[in-house]
Structure 1
Amino acid sequence: MSFLVDHPEIRTIRVAAADLNGQARGKRVPARFADKMAENGTRFPLSVMNLDIWGEDIDDSPLVFASGDPDGVLLPTERGFVPMPWLEAPTALLPLWMHHEDGRPFDGDPRHALARVMRRYAERGLTPVVATELEFYLIDDSGKTLRVPPSPRSGKRRAGAEILSLRALDAWDVFFTDLYDACEAMDIPAETAISEGGLGQFEVNLSHQPDALKAADDAWLFKLLVRGMARRHGCAASFMAKPYEDYPGNGMHVHFSVLDAEGRNIFDDGGPRGTDTLRHAVAGCLAAMPGSALIFAPHGNSYERMVPGAHAPTGVSWAYENRTSAIRIPAGATAARRIEHRVAGGDVNPYLLLAAILGAALDGIEDAAEPPAPITGNAYDQDLPHMPTDWAGAIDAFESAPEVARIFPAALIRNLVLTKRQELRYLADLSPQERVDLYLDTV
């Protein structure tokens, strides 16, 4: 409660949890009830964690009519209250996660899925150190056609890609200044911002940290913040995988290393190759990649990004210092030897993403699995194993993959499969414009 004591200006609070699609589901509460929420949490139906992208019940979910649609107990996470600087009225958000009435974690909660993986690491005396890179577009969506917003400085629309352009960043200096101030207030460790290869596309890196749950919280909160802050600045922000047909999609790359109980990086062998343990982790990630495609590409639009030559990996491969591969081992100081997982789109649920990647890496470490030889050259020109190339195939693979069953609880797998099959059916009836409207600033 120290946050609210230090911020008496807070007038309302939001209490919310991330559902399987990463959507914030919750309530608006007057600030005078904050003590009650912080101490006791609140109650939602368990089925709220398992809604489709429109926010509707899943038709054949066992969480709804078959079980009487029972409540669960939403308890505060260790994050505590954070401000919501994109709203007009002074407001704080209390992140929650779902439990059963008897206190057991609810297996259908994506944050609990990540916590489950982290317990496995802790049992081995290991700690993942995780960072994320999030790409997004700033978009003028006021008309029928998506356009790059006019520069707040010049009023002009720059209809071209501006990779690593200071001019593009400077044009949006007020937005990024407000964004970084908000990240500071929310304890989101935002580092470098760059302009990317699309119209009004940017990337912000979040710092490496030895707390994967916080890293996922940060990514989830950052997406809420960017979308909200963009609206305050008169445009939309989109993490949609592919908002423009002719420009690069949005990715969310994950970097991680692993520390032992003495704080040593178990991927570091003092040289560029890395340890056997690094290669075991790579092997685990590669083995789980086809079955986990639904996590990396969870929506209908996601598969428009997953095409050869579009700066998104399509083949199952790894390499040293090669951005065409699905897994890259960056060069640099050996003490920072790490794995970069480059498959996911910006439209993912960060909790499921980190659970899938870190769980697969730990499986490879536990099995002492060996990867194939690292590739060299352009991965798009090589005959490589492929991930599912369409949404339906990814759903089927996720449902049946033994690697997925080793990482995620059966209830979460069932719930996500039911959700995605319902979305697949409904999306078939939408026009291309309706699909863009659905995903643009939702995911």
Structure 2
Amino acid sequence: MNNWLRKNPQVRTIRVAAADLNGQARGKRIPSRFADKVTTEGTRFPVSVLNLDIWGEDIDDSPLVFESGDADGVLKPTERGFMPMPWLDAPSALLPIWMFREDGRPYPGDPRHALRAVLDRYKARGLTPVCAVELEFFLIDDSGRNLQVPISPRSGKRRKAAETMSIRALDQFDLFFTDLYDACEEMDIPADTAISEAGLGQFEINLMHCDDALRAADDAWLFKMLVKGLARRHGFAASFMAKPYEDYSGSGLHTHFSVLDENGDNIFDDGGPKGTDTLRHAVAGCMSAMRGSALVFCPHANSFDRMVPESHAPTGVCWAYENRTAAIRIPSGSHKARRIEHRVSGGDVNPYLMLAAVLGAAFNGIEDAAEPPAPITGNAYAADLPRMPSDWKTAIDLFEGCPHVARIFAPEMVRNFVLTKRQELHYMQELTPEEQVEIYLDTV
């Protein structure tokens, strides 16, 4: 692991960082000459650090703080190893880490371990999920009182209009996207297609499919960090917040997944357009857990501003073939790539928790051989369907009591996430919408 540092002697400092429940990077800055100690022994910080609120404050009634003496966890490097941090001026390296108990057991309140636990269920059955994510984000000029589209470095103008799939919009920020793709290559993030989206200064980049869901979540987490950091180097902000502009579409984080058996065959592929019984079972599991998992897919106050009818965000629990108004879409195309697209999450999610919720729900359905209702046709917004929670409090309550969620996440994870979100709900109610946006702009 330290070979990377020896090959990059210009790197003088490293950051060791883990994702907390909100997907925020929590960790330390360390001189690179002390890297050997970190890679061999790990590092330590309080378990409660992975359970801070969006402001970085302790959770008032959490048993992880005073009740337990604010005890340390042991954080060890993930398989990813060192990577550059191209958004910083000084050459630096990032070492992703995750948390363990003192006795070596994984800490169940670590989001990465939550996903690992779901993947262990697949592995025990000889199955491997293959995942790809689509990340939408906004480029924003936040230098003034109101958020707006940045001035184009090419034209010197500010284009205040939606630019769906516009080559011109991409070219307006060509230097940023060129630097972004170069940085993704340096960090080994598999960035694929970029398009402009329907919001002001909104873009989407797809990450290539991966047969290691932990790595796919790592890629999404690192990509969000990279985009936000690199945008600042270019003189503007980037944000994955769900809904920065009231009158335009919000940002989603759609997930495509299939499942391979021990022979490497796609168990959703029946050789035709419909997919196998197993695909339907997975769909049924996703639908059963969808309302209960809404807090994972919509984790912030701003998240629910995106979940409104006719907004390209699903509001009803349903599935369909080749229909983007549905919460779960089965894309057309080659039967060999038959897969499920889960379209509920906003761009503001924690990728580890999101993939754990999606893949865990699908596995529940496969395990139970559950059957979904008939797929819908036409406009899902006009159909009489079970509705996703429309407010934060309801989502918190549903998550806490959902039996499907209890099969996916450890009790400590459920407790910690609920306590975190109830504290955030309490304090967000004291803020104006403008103050809320200011917080979410940089954090999510």
Moved more, 114-123 or 28-37: 28-37
Residue 70 of structure 1 is matched in structure 2 by 71
Quick one: distance in 2 between partners of 1:80 and 1:38? 9
Structure 1 residue 26 and structure 2 residue 5: aligned? no
Quick one: distance in 1 between partners of 2:432 and 2:387? 29
- What are the equivalent positions in structure 2 for 1:25-44 lying under 5 Å apart? 25-44=26-45
Residue 130 of structure 2 is matched in structure 1 by 129
Quick one: distance in 2 between partners of 1:366 and 1:131? 23
Partner secondary structure for residue 107 of structure 2: coil
Residue 279 of structure 1 is matched in structure 2 by 280
TM-superposed CA distance for 1:368, in Å, is 0.3
Quick one: distance in 1 between partners of 2:58 and 2:150? 35
TM-superposed CA distance for 1:390, in Å, is 0.3
Residue 256 of structure 2 is matched in structure 1 by 255
Identity between Structure 1 and Structure 2 (%): 74
TM-superposed CA distance for 1:8, in Å, is 1.0
- What are the equivalent positions in structure 2 for 1:130-209 lying under 5 Å apart? 130-209=131-210
- What are the equivalent positions in structure 2 for 1:79-90 lying under 5 Å apart? 79-90=80-91
TM-superposed CA distance for 1:6, in Å, is 1.5
Quick one: distance in 1 between partners of 2:393 and 2:436? 17
What amino acid is aligned across from residue 181 of structure 2 in structure 1?
Y
Residue 237 of structure 2 is matched in structure 1 by 236
Quick one: distance in 1 between partners of 2:81 and 2:312? 37
TM-superposed CA distance for 1:93, in Å, is 0.4
Residue 337 of structure 1 is matched in structure 2 by 338
TM-superposed CA distance for 1:432, in Å, is 1.3
Quick one: distance in 2 between partners of 1:127 and 1:214? 13
Residue 372 of structure 2 is matched in structure 1 by 371
Residue 120 of structure 1 is matched in structure 2 by 121
TM-superposed CA distance for 1:386, in Å, is 0.9
Quick one: distance in 2 between partners of 1:185 and 1:147? 30
TM-superposed CA distance for 1:34, in Å, is 1.1
Partner secondary structure for residue 191 of structure 1: strand
Quick one: distance in 2 between partners of 1:39 and 1:234? 39
What amino acid is aligned across from residue 214 of structure 1 in structure 2?
R
Residue 436 of structure 1 is matched in structure 2 by 437
TM-superposed CA distance for 1:176, in Å, is 0.4
Quick one: distance in 2 between partners of 1:169 and 1:415? 40
TM-superposed CA distance for 1:235, in Å, is 0.3
Quick one: distance in 1 between partners of 2:254 and 2:443? 20
TM-superposed CA distance for 1:388, in Å, is 1.0
TM-superposed CA distance for 1:38, in Å, is 1.2
Superimposed CA distance per residue, residues 329-373 of structure 1 (whole angstroms, 9 cap, x where no aligned partner): 000000000000000000000000000000000010010000000
What amino acid is aligned across from residue 312 of structure 2 in structure 1?
H
Structure 1 residue 268 and structure 2 residue 249: aligned? no
TM-superposed CA distance for 1:436, in Å, is 0.7
Quick one: distance in 2 between partners of 1:311 and 1:33? 49
Runs of 5+ unmatched residues, structure 2: none
- What are the equivalent positions in structure 2 for 1:279-428 lying under 5 Å apart? 279-428=280-429
TM-superposed CA distance for 1:306, in Å, is 0.4
Quick one: distance in 1 between partners of 2:134 and 2:295? 19
Quick one: distance in 1 between partners of 2:378 and 2:3? 54
TM-superposed CA distance for 1:105, in Å, is 0.4
Residue 106 of structure 1 is matched in structure 2 by 107
Quick one: distance in 2 between partners of 1:438 and 1:257? 36
Partner secondary structure for residue 258 of structure 2: strand
Residue 16 of structure 2 is matched in structure 1 by 15
Quick one: distance in 2 between partners of 1:253 and 1:309? 17
What amino acid is aligned across from residue 286 of structure 2 in structure 1?
C
With normalisation by structure 1, the TM-score equals 1.00
Quick one: distance in 1 between partners of 2:35 and 2:163? 45
Partner secondary structure for residue 366 of structure 1: helix
Runs of 5+ unmatched residues, structure 1: none
TM-superposed CA distance for 1:441, in Å, is 1.7
Quick one: distance in 1 between partners of 2:379 and 2:72? 51
Quick one: distance in 2 between partners of 1:229 and 1:156? 21
TM-superposed CA distance for 1:87, in Å, is 0.2
What amino acid is aligned across from residue 373 of structure 1 in structure 2?
A
Quick one: distance in 2 between partners of 1:36 and 1:90? 20
TM-superposed CA distance for 1:431, in Å, is 1.1
Partner secondary structure for residue 442 of structure 2: coil
Partner secondary structure for residue 440 of structure 1: helix
Superimposed CA distance per residue, residues 229-248 of structure 1 (whole angstroms, 9 cap, x where no aligned partner): 00000000010000000011
- What are the equivalent positions in structure 2 for 1:87-98 lying under 5 Å apart? 87-98=88-99
Partner secondary structure for residue 117 of structure 1: helix
What amino acid is aligned across from residue 198 of structure 1 in structure 2?
G
What amino acid is aligned across from residue 225 of structure 2 in structure 1?
L
Quick one: distance in 2 between partners of 1:232 and 1:87? 8
